[in-house]
Structures are given as structure tokens and as C-alpha cells.
Structure 1
């Protein structure tokens, strides 16, 4: 049975339906395994899904998700959604091939849950848009790196080197200032909010299926509230998994102890006005360069993103002044490879606060691990951190969410690669 004390955000079809609140008060001694997941973005919902799927079938379990805004209400829900396993400064990202494949699997799970519920997946309400990503080089240095990538790509996400004429057949009016361009046909464009809503729906389905099986029943609650400090959860849960992104540093127990830099990014929404007949082709890919265009349909796209370092502003709303500054920064970058952007009209902007991890020998890696030491040595439960996904949350969330769930269930941090827990040795 699915249990929730809030609403899911308004969405398409049944993704936005109201779930009636129920109340259970099992005694502490007879309760099932209880886990708290703080945050309902990429990290939080991936961990929730994998906790439900990886936990022993015979064991009863309850998961409480805490997020003051709701599903996808933070930076995850407004991100660009361009998914591929490569870095602009290196070949494959750290564990890029594994993360890429795991993310595609979780996207399929979400799409299947949406179809089962009858949610429309037409081109203007997609969860995953499979049109590839076109990547013009932004400068000569970038061209060298991208050329190297194209010669050493992973077979599951190939890179094709194409000239400007071929690029213009994919995207009419595209400009390739540094020939050639690079096309990733298997790369995808994800609508983050619809994806997260559908993934939550998939979690609900697992819970509902458990109520009709002979195995242990699973329960899931979504609490539309914030947790002000970790100790207020002390004694309530077998484990608390902190998936709050930039807001993790705002918890008093972790404040100033995480090697994260915050960065606010503004994403602009643009549409073709009614008097412009020539639309963006339905088959055409999204575009990634010094700035990016995430295509939402033939007459709608997202453009991003800005980088305001050290910001503490997590408000998704964007003022007129902030939007104007973002357009002044983004439009010249986009015009360099897509001059036709001048025909599009700005409609609105959203912003998110990203938690950017430190640079290591393996690249900028997320922060994972048990953080009991930071909360207090005598805490009764286990506290875990899954954060610092930065601008690559969509790539990292699925594979690392799987590892985190297994580590939590087994109470074994050794299941997490040491590269992701090494930050604790420096910050104790």
C-alpha cells in the first residue's frame, strides 16, 4: 500500500494525482526497517528506488522522503537534462560508461511506469527525447579535446565526426565555427521534472505490488517539509540518507564541513512566436557547446546555463534583472553556433543552486559515505551523505544511487568506491 501525507507536484496524467493521507503508528519494537531520504531530486529518488528493489523481499520496510518543495522541486527538476557520458575536458568521465548505462535503465523504468499509468508521452510531453546531441566546438582547444573523444568513444554512446553541411542537415541554420562538429546519436534529452515524477510513480508501483505479495510489505511516505537538523530524526530510523544537494551544507551538523562550492544557474525558456512558420525540425538533436539548447519541441526550447559561484540563493524564481543578465550572457554564446536564436522569444526563466564537488585526480566526483562522525559519535542510527552531483547529477544518480542503497542496507561503506569517500579523511 502506498502511504503519503502530501501531494505530488502537478504533472501530466496521474503523475499529479492526490494521494490520500493515512496514519500508522507501529510500536518501535514491531516496526519494519525505516529509512529517511532527505531530498526528492535525482539522488533522493534513485536511492529510494534502489532501496525498494534491493532490500530483502521478506523484510518489511518503510521509507520517508522529506522535501519541502516536493518531487523535483530543487535544482534537479529544472536542469537541462542533456545526458551523455563525456566530459568537455577529458574522454569518458569517471565510470562514465557504467553510469551512462545505469541511467538509461532507470529512465526506462520511469517511462514504463508513466505508460502503465496512461500518461501521454507525445513529443510535447516527453520524458526522454531520443534525438541525440550535436556538439560544435567552442574554440580550438575544445576542438582538440572533442576530436580526441571522437577517436576514443565508448561503444554504447558513439561519437560521429561530421562536417558543417552534414550538421546543417540535422539542424538547419546551425553554424560550425570550428569544423568539424560532433554528433552523439545515442545521447538523449531528458525532461527532468517529468522523469522524476515518473520515477516516483515507479516507486509507488513497487510499494503497491508488495501489498499483494506474500513477502514483506513496503511503505512509502512523501513529507512536504524540511528537516532543520539531523538530530531531530535521532532514534526514528535505521538510516538517514542526505540527498539535499547544496542544501546539505545548511544542516548545522554538516555546515562548513563539506568540500562543496555552490553555484546558481539560470535557465531560460524560449518559444518561436506565432508569425514564424519555420519550426525546429522534429528529428533534430539538442545542441551542446559553450552554452546549450535543450529542445522541448518544434517551437519550444530551454537555453542555459549561467554560473554564479558562491551563491546561497536556492530560490527557483528569477527576477527581471537576473533574467536580463542571464540573457545577455547566454545569447551571444548560443548565437555563435545557432544564429537563428534571434527569432525566438524569451518566455520565462528558472534557477537552481548546484553543489559542485572538489577537483580530484579522477575529476570532480560526488561525495558519498557514512557521516556519523559529523553528526555525533553516539548517534543511534546511521547517517549517510549522497551529494555533490554538481552539473552531472543525471549521469551519476542511477549507478551511485544503486551503490548507496546497497551500502545502507548492508551497513557497509566499503561497497562505495574509495574515490567517493576519500573527502572525509581531509574534512574531519
Structure 2
């Protein structure tokens, strides 16, 4: 009940622009028929949306391009915003080409030779299952009904398609997105019982595929599990002409953190001063030394 009370308090004190409604099981079932609400209590976010990561990043890139175009006519200095695709083996391959480089590779940052084994990430592989309603099932998931977050989560992709997640395989180093039949079967065995506790109708859906990813979770500290930020030239090499910055360990709060921390990172890079960051986000470097 402790978590329920915390959620109630959050709902009561939520920002008006991010409304959270406390609803009973009858109201919940008007949104999703036959949903199970054990405590006669659920939380509904009417403005919540599903975010497609790739499309979101593409939109951010386009927004940055448009901003540069708008600013260029009014600026004395020429501005450009470009996408360069280049394969490198190590960070030092960037020497001589850039003044600064921001490393935001998630779990793959640890695969760079200069950083391998030197970042306090807790790696965790997660599998997400794609489920669909068979054609002979007439009862669709309600149109415009919300996605559901509980012991497992359901990300609704229309009336007959959803994603269910996610598993947590700690200490895994497997970053391949491909999922074997055996791994998919284990994921379903783990996720379906969790999902069925709040959405019993999940038993009528059929497996349509699975994908996986490797999370780079931040370490647990006295301040909580916080992102890892800061200059890493001490790890890469002190005589580098390029300044290297780490942006990682956002964990499950990436959508919450990314804009604020991205702004701080830009300030830090332009001023060449990592004191722009709250000390809690750079204190990991003291432990790693």
C-alpha cells in the first residue's frame, strides 16, 4: 500500500499540464472493458502518449535543422547543422576532426576501447513481445483506450496490435536485437502471467514477434540511480585535442531527463566546464578513478 499512497500523493500534486486522475474500477472499465483493478484504484493520464523512439529522434533532428535555418539570417556567424555517418573503432579516431564529441551510445559506450570496463553501468537485457489479435477474434481493444503500466506494461498500437514488456536480464552483455525462439518463449512465460493479472483478455492475443535491447542502467547511489554525465578525457587521454563528454545511464527515465540534461550538456561543451552539471551527476568519476 506504500506505493499506492505515493501514487495518490503524486496524482494530487501533479502539474496541471500533466494531469493524473485517480479513478475507481468502474471508471477504469469504461476505458478498458474487463480490466482488473485489485484495489478499486487506478491512475489515468488522459494526455499520455506512446513515443516511437526513432521517429521522435528524427523529429528532434528536423526541429534542430529548422531552428538553425531560422537563426542563420539574423546571425553574424555562419551556422550549420549536419548529420555525418562515420564508423570508428576507437574515440581517438575522432582526433583532429572535432573540437568536442558527446558519447551517447547507451550500453555500447562500454565497447569503446578507451572506456571499456571503466564505466559503472549496470547492464540489463530486455525483451519486448509483439502480440496481435487473431482474425477470428471480433472484440478489438477499444479504440483510443490507453496503454497500461503495471507489473508488466502494454503499449497499444491500434485496436489489434500491442507490445508487451519487458524482461530484465541483469549482467547480460548481449546487445543484439534478435530474439531466439527459446528466449522469446521464456519472455512470454514471464510476461503473460504479469499482464493477465490486470488485463485477462491478453490470453486471446497471439505472439507475432519479439525484439530485445541492452540497457545501460546507472549505479545505485545515496542520491538514487542518476545519469552519468561529464568530461571523460581523463579516461580517454589527457593530451587529446578533442574534448570527450559522456551522456549516459539515463535508465528508465530517459524521456524525463533528456531535454534538461541535453541543455546542460550543450552549455558544458560550449563553456568547456562540467561544473554546469549538478555534482550528483559527475560524482561517479570520483569513484571510478
**Both proteins in one fold, TM over 0.5:** yes
- Matched residue, 2:80: 218
Which of 375, 394, 398 matches 2:236? Answer: 375
Q: 1:40-119 counterparts in 2 under 5 A?
A: none
| Matched residue SS, 1:220 | coil
Residues 122-163 of structure 1, C-alpha deviations (whole Å, 9 max, x = no match): xxxxxxxxxxxxxxxxxx443333233334333332322111
CA shift at 1:325, angstroms?
Answer: 0.6
The structure-2 alpha-carbon separation of the partners of 1:224 and 1:302, relative to structure 1 and needing over 3 Å to count, comes to farther
- Matched residue, 2:108: 247
Structure 1 distance, partners of 2:214, 2:128, is 12
- Matched residue, 1:388: 249
CA shift at 1:222, angstroms?
Answer: 3.0
Which of 23, 33, 37 matches 1:172? Answer: 33
Structure 2 distance, partners of 1:217, 1:405, is 15
Is 1:277 aligned to residue 171 of structure 2? Answer: no
Q: TM-score, normalised by structure 1?
A: 0.64
Q: 1:184-199 counterparts in 2 under 5 A?
A: 184-199=45-60
Structure 1 distance, partners of 2:256, 2:210, is 24
Is 1:402 aligned to residue 273 of structure 2? Answer: no
Structure 1 distance, partners of 2:7, 2:42, is 9
Q: Which runs of 5+ in 2 are unaligned?
A: none
Check the 8 A contact 1:207/1:220 in 2, yes or no.
no
Which of 159, 163, 178 matches 1:302? Answer: 163
Residues 337-378 of structure 1, C-alpha deviations (whole Å, 9 max, x = no match): 000111111111111111000122332110000111111111
Structure 2 distance, partners of 1:400, 1:214, is 26
Check the 8 A contact 1:143/1:178 in 2, yes or no.
no
Is 1:149 aligned to residue 10 of structure 2? Answer: yes
Structure 2 distance, partners of 1:287, 1:327, is 17
The structure-2 alpha-carbon separation of the partners of 1:197 and 1:224, relative to structure 1 and needing over 3 Å to count, comes to farther
- Matched residue, 2:98: 237
CA shift at 1:402, angstroms?
Answer: 1.3
CA shift at 1:198, angstroms?
Answer: 2.3
Which of 301, 319, 331 matches 2:192? Answer: 331
Structure 1 distance, partners of 2:137, 2:226, is 44
CA shift at 1:212, angstroms?
Answer: 6.7
CA shift at 1:381, angstroms?
Answer: 1.6
Check the 8 A contact 1:264/1:306 in 2, yes or no.
yes
CA shift at 1:189, angstroms?
Answer: 1.6
* Number of aligned positions between the proteins: 288
| Matched residue SS, 2:178 | coil
| Matched residue SS, 2:82 | strand
Structure 1 distance, partners of 2:128, 2:179, is 9
Check the 8 A contact 2:64/2:81 in 1, yes or no.
no
Structure of greater relative contact order (alpha carbons < 8 Å, 6+ residues apart): 1
Q: TM-score, normalised by structure 2?
A: 0.93
| Matched residue SS, 1:330 | helix
Structure 1 distance, partners of 2:246, 2:129, is 31
- Matched residue, 2:209: 348
CA shift at 1:164, angstroms?
Answer: 0.5
The structure-2 alpha-carbon separation of the partners of 1:212 and 1:423, relative to structure 1 and needing over 3 Å to count, comes to same
Which of 166, 171, 174 matches 1:313? Answer: 174
Structure 2 distance, partners of 1:400, 1:282, is 36
- Matched residue, 1:137: none
Residues 184-223 of structure 1, C-alpha deviations (whole Å, 9 max, x = no match): 2233221222222222333343455577776513041331
| Matched residue SS, 1:333 | helix
